[in-house]
Amino acid sequence: MIKHWGKAETGMLIAAVLLLMVIFTFFEITASLTVSVIAFPISLIVLMAIMEYAATELRRK
């Protein structure tokens, strides 16, 4: 059980880091400060929601 949780948390962490890298790359490409200020908190909230959903799905199994 502990090994399963360790693998799941590592996978979720890698997915979160990759998603954040994609988000930051998008902001660098747009290079618009107003877009970044508006979209960054929204993207963080979406990321937290995805992580919370994945955690509840793992707890259910």
Model confidence at 2: pLDDT above 60: no
Contact 56, 3 (CB under 8 A): no
Model confidence at 48: pLDDT above 70: yes
pLDDT tier at 5, thresholds 50, 70, 90: low
> CB neighbours of 23 closer than 8 A, spacing ≥ 6?
40, 43
| pLDDT tens digits, one per residue of 15-44 | 777 887 787 777 777 666 666 677 777 777
Tokens 């930051």 belong to 24
The domain spans of the chain are: 2-60
Q: Can you give the pLDDT at residue 1?
A: 42
Q: Could you give the count of Cα atoms lying within 13 Å of 27 in the half-sphere of its Cβ?
A: 16
Instruction: Give the residue with greater pLDDT, 4 vs 47.
Output: 47
